[in-house]
């Protein structure tokens, strides 16, 4: 591909010549019949291989208290596992429930519990609809599509709020949450957010913990999925549970975490942590649902990692696997699109994604062009509630799953599609201006 100079410096003949060449390249790519995927943040096989020795464990199934992990029991998870992840994340082990393989499942169950039973004496959220109201959630955008899907499934109205460089726009969040008692919560991915890689500042965490809300049962869904997924720079944020306790709102946060992208996505462990009162409440509902999650899997994780430091060393190995892929994408964007005016992007410090913004009105066209050329991307609009990006500009790139060779081809096709979609948009705007003048 050729470099595109800033498009506003091109003469009209140059513009048409470059767009024609892009179309020619695109037809060549389509003829190759490629099938490449940058849609979801799945670990590659080389990452999963790093955890294979875990499958040989446990040899000894007896826990420190003498319990046989192969049998029923232990609703909140084995103490060894709660201790391990409590130390890793700065959480009180007594305020942790170890769940199954997916924190997504735990988040949905927690939301459903609030709908069915309410919390700490507040009425169930489901009753709001019978009173002419509707539970609402604040959704920092761009954000995680699975959060939005859960809200849609349960009938929660979603209110987008801007995600800034240091976290949600807290002026907007505080104003909205303070004025409307139907606003019951906010989604937060505080470290290496999905998809932009934003990390929350201390000021943002304290503001979330201390702000006054109209709803007494306002809850922060703190999805700390990427807490230890550092690629370029290690980042830590304040402990939301401790900050809420200091601010006099101990029941406000639900902290979620999992090993889905640390060990095995389909066979990891997850956790939820919150106040003593919230944990007691959640366990009271869990008793009707389960006798306990997979203790053998919890024990495997404990025997495999042994210490928080070993988890951090494991994460450095995963970062070494991911960094070349992120480097490749970011370098190619720099080489082909920097200064072109056709694309903006964020350089994350960690996480699993790279967030890009096309010219307004070009994301859907870019994704469709890529699909027809054999590259699957996350759908345009997925990073906004209801799939409706008002600018039609944000696209989430997931570099983790393809091999380096596949990723190189996929990124080049993506760049080609960005150029075509952007130049088509500019050409349309130019024709509109010319018709207006004539």
Q: What is the mean pLDDT of each run of 10 residues along the chain (438 residues)?
A: 68 90 96 93 96 92 95 97 98 98 96 97 90 93 98 97 98 98 98 98 98 98 98 97 98 98 96 98 96 96 98 98 98 96 96 98 98 97 97 98 97 98 92 76
Per-residue pLDDT, 1: 59
Per-residue pLDDT, 317: 98
Quick one: fold of 73-307?
A: 3.40.640
Per-residue pLDDT, 8: 75
SS (H, E, C) the chain: CCCCCCHHHCCHHHHHHHHHHHHHHHHHHHCCCCCEEECCCCCCHHHHHHHHHHHHCCCCCECCCCCECCCCCCCCCCHHHHHHHHHHHCCCHHHEEECCCCHHHHHHHHHHHHHHHCCCCCCCHHHHHHHCCCCEEEEEECCCHHHHHHHHHHCCEEEEEEEECCEECHHHHHHHHHHCCCEEEEEECCCCCCCCCCCCCHHHHHHHHHCCCCCCCCEEEEECCCCCCECCCCCCCCCHHHHHHHCCCCCCEEEEEECCCCCCCCCCCEEEECCHHHHHHHHHHHCCCCCCCCHHHHHHHHHHHCCHHHHHHHHHHHHHHHHHHHHHHHHHHHHHHCCCCCEEECCCCECCCEEEEECCCCHHHHHHHHHHCCEEECCCCCCCHHHCCCCCCEEEECCCCCCHHHHHHHHHHHHHHHHHHHHHHHHHHHHHHHHHHC
CATH code for residues 7-47+312-437:
3.90.1150.10
Per-residue pLDDT, 6: 78
Per-residue pLDDT, 132: 81
Per-residue pLDDT, 198: 98
All structural domains of the chain with their residue ranges: 7-47+312-437, 73-307
Per-residue pLDDT, 275: 98
């Amino acid at each position: 591909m050729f470099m595109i100079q800033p498009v506003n410096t091109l003469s009209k003949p140059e513009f048409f010549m470059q767009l024609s060449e892009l179309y020619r390249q695109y037809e060549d790519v389509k003829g190759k019949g490629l099938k490449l995927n940058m849609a979801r943040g799945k670990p590659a096989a080389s990452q999963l291989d790093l955890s294979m020795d875990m499958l040989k464990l446990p040899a000894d199934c007896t826990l420190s208290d003498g319990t046989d992990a192969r049998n029923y029991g232990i609703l909140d998870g084995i103490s060894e596992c709660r201790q391990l992840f409590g130390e890793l994340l700065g959480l009180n082990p007594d305020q942790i429930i170890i769940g199954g393989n997916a924190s997504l499942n735990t988040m949905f169950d927690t939301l459903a519990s609030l709908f069915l039973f309410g919390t700490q004496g507040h009425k169930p959220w489901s009753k709001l609809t019978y009173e002419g109201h509707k539970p609402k959630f604040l959704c920092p955008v761009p954000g995680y599509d699975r959060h939005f899907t859960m809200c849609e499934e349960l009938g929660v109205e979603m209110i987008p709020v801007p995600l800034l460089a240091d976290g949600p726009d807290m002026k907007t969040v505080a104003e909205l949450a303070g004025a409307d008692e139907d606003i019951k919560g906010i989604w937060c991915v505080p470290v290496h957010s999905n998809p932009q890689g934003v990390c929350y500042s201390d000021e943002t965490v304290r503001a979330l913990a201390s702000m006054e809300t109209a709803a007494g049962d306002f809850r922060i869904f703190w999805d700390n999925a990427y807490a230890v997924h550092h690629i370029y720079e290690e980042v830590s944020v304040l402990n939301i549970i401790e900050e809420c306790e200091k601010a006099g709102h101990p029941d406000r946060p639900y902290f979620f975490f999992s090993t889905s992208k640390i060990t095995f996505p389909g066979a990891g462990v997850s956790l939820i942590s919150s106040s003593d009162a919230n944990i007691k409440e959640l366990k009271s509902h869990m008793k009707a649902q389960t006798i306990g999650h997979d203790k053998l899997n919890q024990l495997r994780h404990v025997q495999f990692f042994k210490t928080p430091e070993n988890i951090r060393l494991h994460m450095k190995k995963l970062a070494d696997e991911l960094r070349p892929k992120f480097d490749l994408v970011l370098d190619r964007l720099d080489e082909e699109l920097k200064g072109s005016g056709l694309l903006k992007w964020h350089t994350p410090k960690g996480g699993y994604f790279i967030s890009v913004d096309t010219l307004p009105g070009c994301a859907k066209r870019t994704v469709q062009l890529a699909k027809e050329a054999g590259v699957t991307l996350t759908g345009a609009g997925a990073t906004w509630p209801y799939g409706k990006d008002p600018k039609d500009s944000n696209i989430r790139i997931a570099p983790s799953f393809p091999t380096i060779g596949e990723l190189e081809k996929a990124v080049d096709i993506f760049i080609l599609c960005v150029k075509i979609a952007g130049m088509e948009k500019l050409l349309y705007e130019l024709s509109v201006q010319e018709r207006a003048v004539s």
